[in-house]
Structure 1
């Protein structure tokens, strides 16, 4: 073999060695490690997002203006109960509930019977006498097509309209307020109901 041929063969051999040394290896171990870390982070973020979303159980927090009252007593009593709110959001009440299966009453109701209906998961919509006819008709239409609701005038109401569920209340100026529907969706037989599944008819059907 000539000298030039030997030199050429040596150069090729050195080139192969250099290529072997400089060729990048795929870091599979590192890729696997960071992939696992990324998946854990995604799961953690997703869980935190789900936990932070308002659920039906805390629907009050997503409806502006809702007043919440906790620790309400639930004893059955006879006679008149002195409530600390108008309309009351709960408390001791009459053993007989007010029928609340989409009922519209044209006279004021006894608080004690209405509160019992709240305990069963009803929403009590009350209005101050003198509410414009169009607004009253709108409320009647909502109640008549929504089970576990009832409507009545409330002469001492300090707002045109009040929506009351057990431990929750929203007072409004106008029946067209979008919060009416949101309140009904959140609290008709909602998670605040002390006695889920209890009847809303078959009891008191008169004011």
Structure 2
């Protein structure tokens, strides 16, 4: 008697598909969908994603053991883009709004970490009327937007947010406002 019961158990087990297979397939499908949604959203986001610095430097307030507050210009730091979008920076912020003189990069990176968008312009490549229009746009946002001249630019206008960059040869108000609205106010502090 016990023998037929064992055969029946074996046959029942071999007939059905293990629930673990369904769970595994479901988990893989969920991961694939999440990855696809993330990639589609990134593709639709204004500007381009920037290659990341090594993790230990992304949110660092020190660089090679030197306090960024004592080396606030960050001139020798190998950021992944120029102007930078993330990386070692000071512990203090630039005032939001329009600046007539260049603001050090390491300060503005902290602004971006705190949800800021920085509009950099070349004082030699951007026409005066473009700078006036950028000033008007910046003044619409009392928080989270900084406008600064940046003489090393090879493009007239560059917008940056944490790990995002948009280069413009000519002022495009629609793209500028879209970029600001997409990224301003998003806090990027490591948690």
TM-score by length of 1: 0.60
The alignment's C-alpha RMSD in Å is 2.7
Contact 2:138 2:146 in 1 (8 A): yes
What is the aligned partner in structure 1 of residue 169 from structure 2?
173
TM-score by length of 2: 0.65
Q: Does the C-alpha gap of structure 1 residues 68 and 128 become closer, same or farther in structure 2, counting only changes over 3 Å?
A: same
What is the aligned partner in structure 2 of residue 74 from structure 1?
59
Question: What is the CA distance between 1:97 and its match in structure 2?
Answer: 1.4
Contact 1:94 1:116 in 2 (8 A): yes
What is the aligned partner in structure 2 of residue 92 from structure 1?
88
Question: What is the CA distance between 1:181 and its match in structure 2?
Answer: 1.3
Question: What is the CA distance between 1:177 and its match in structure 2?
Answer: 4.7
What is the aligned partner in structure 2 of residue 114 from structure 1?
108
What is the aligned partner in structure 1 of residue 160 from structure 2?
164
3-state DSSP of counterpart to 1:152? strand
Mapped to 2, the partners of 1:170 and 1:152 lie a distance apart of 15
Contact 1:69 1:168 in 2 (8 A): no
Larger radius of gyration: 1
2:173 counterpart of 1:188: no
Contact 2:117 2:145 in 1 (8 A): yes
Number of aligned residues: 142
| Structure 1 spans left out of the alignment, 5+ residues | 1-50, 197-207
| Structure 2 spans left out of the alignment, 5+ residues | 1-33
Q: 5 Å matches for 1:128-143?
A: 128-130=122-124, 131-143=126-138
Mapped to 2, the partners of 1:95 and 1:164 lie a distance apart of 19
2:108 counterpart of 1:126: no
